[in-house]
Amino acid sequence: MSAESPAKKGLAAIKGTHDILPSEVGCWQQAEALARTLFELYGYREIRTPVFEATELFERGTGETSDVVTKEMYTFTDKGGRSVTLRPEYTPSVVRAIIEHRLDLQPEPLRFYYFGPMFRYDKPQKGRYRQFHQIDVEVFGEMDAAIDAELIEMAQAYLAGVGVTEAETLVNSVGCRTCRPAYSRALRQAAEAKKDALCEDCRRKADLNPLRIFDCKIEACRRIADGFPRILDFLCDECRDHFAKLRAYLDLYGIPYRVEPKLVRGLDYYTKTTFEIVSGKLGAQNSLVGGGRYDDMMKDFGGPDICAIGFAMGLERLLSVARLEPPRPRFLYIVTLGEDGKRAGMTLARSFRRAGIECLIEFKDRGLKAQLGRASKLGAAWALIAGEDEVRTGRFQLKDLATGRQVAGTPDELLPVLREQ
């Protein structure tokens, strides 16, 4: 009888989620390690927040009219009758954490980065998953457009560091509470005039939050939205000045970018700068990095009036275009023969590991040849044989599996050989 596969029994991973297998994990670790090193060079520190939060946090933060909140949240009632949500994004959590712990009163700069899974009930396709991973970066309390430019520069430095080429930076300004109402009115009027041609969802958005029409994925709606008024023509003096400065600072860094007036990003909270880094290599889901300012969220949550800007980068998308080559671990395979050899091998493995040498010892009953074959197959750098003679004399044969070179010695004598690269 053939064994039934887990997928057939209904035990497969849930649609839109995926396993990150040991063969893939090296790239993830390398991407994370590079992010950690780079972001810390810019003064950012890691913060970790819970995977689920009160639903209200995202309704108020991400925004009640955003697609994320209206359609995509994993929301459920817990056993205590509270409505909780698996975080669809990270920004509202960090804002909550700052207010809750009054991090703004600490002497450290409010610059944070974070890695972790996010959850959105979206239609799965290449580059779009229901559980995906983001690297997020947020900086608080910096109003100057110089920080907007520095953040974009840091995102670009990171992408260059992981070998992403062919990435384009798009920038826009979505205005603020002073100038956006007039723009929303103009947009609503334009949408009203084209009402019959827009999808039902866009007609609803036209009433609630016309800016969200730009998020529609339907081609006909997108074409109509192309002809709508442009936010850049409605900016107040302050927002126009901020946007001009951002572009000047990007020029100072020599960063190429394109102004994209339809770039409103899918979340409700953005003010002034929005930006995205896209890659032509990604296909339909071409956004690698998305970010912008959200100067009102902290005070809207009842916290201090502190402005903010940040970005999020999708790791699945990043890794599909990055060129990473994680170093292969060099490890020692300990071959053991008989009970005495096994006992000697166990003690040897322990002392080598304590000396920082990666060691693998396996306990299946295999002969010498089979164990050496296995060491090669697993990619061990060396094999060390612990047989009867070796145990008796205290001297072991160490074989370099790439060159075939053998050396014999006591464990102390072999240690420097194992440390050689």
Q: Where does this chain bind ligand AMP (CB under 6 A)?
A: 89, 120, 122, 127-129, 132, 134, 265-266, 287-290, 312-314, 316-317
Q: Which is nearer to ligand AMP, 89 or 138 (CB)?
A: 89
Cβ neighbours, 10 Å, residue 48: 12
- Look at residues 297, 325, 328, 292 and name the one whose alpha carbon lies nearest to residue 310: 292
CB 389 → ligand AMP: shortest distance, Å?
57
CB 221 → ligand AMP: shortest distance, Å?
19
Cα 405 vs. chain centroid, distance in angstroms? Answer: 43
Q: Which is nearer to ligand AMP, 216 or 313 (CB)?
A: 313
Q: Which is nearer to ligand AMP, 120 or 293 (CB)?
A: 120
Residue with tokens 């590991």: 353
Q: Which is nearer to ligand AMP, 18 or 374 (CB)?
A: 18
Strands, sheet with 406-409, edge to edge from the N-terminal-most edge strand: 359-361, 332-336, 382-386, 396-400, 406-409
Reduced to 3 states (helix: H, G, I; strand: E, B; else coil), residue 259 is strand
CB 134 → ligand AMP: shortest distance, Å?
5
CB 94 → ligand AMP: shortest distance, Å?
13
CB 344 → ligand AMP: shortest distance, Å?
50
Q: Which is nearer to ligand AMP, 136 or 201 (CB)?
A: 136
- Report residue 272: phi and psi, to 5°: 50, -120
Q: Which is nearer to ligand AMP, 6 or 163 (CB)?
A: 163
In the bound complex, which residue of the shown chain has the CB atom lying closest to ligand AMP?
314
Rounded CA gap, 273 and 294, in Å?
9
406 Ramachandran zone, left/alpha/beta (phi>0; psi -120 to 50)? beta
**DSSP conformational letter for 400:** E
Reduced to 3 states (helix: H, G, I; strand: E, B; else coil), residue 356 is coil
Strands (E), 195-307: 258-259, 271-279, 287-293
- Look at residues 293, 285, 336, 338 and name the one whose alpha carbon lies nearest to residue 311: 293
Reduced to 3 states (helix: H, G, I; strand: E, B; else coil), residue 181 is helix
Q: Which is nearer to ligand AMP, 270 or 352 (CB)?
A: 270
CB 18 → ligand AMP: shortest distance, Å?
10
CB 297 → ligand AMP: shortest distance, Å?
14
- CA geometry: angle 227, 123, 11, nearest 5 deg: 175
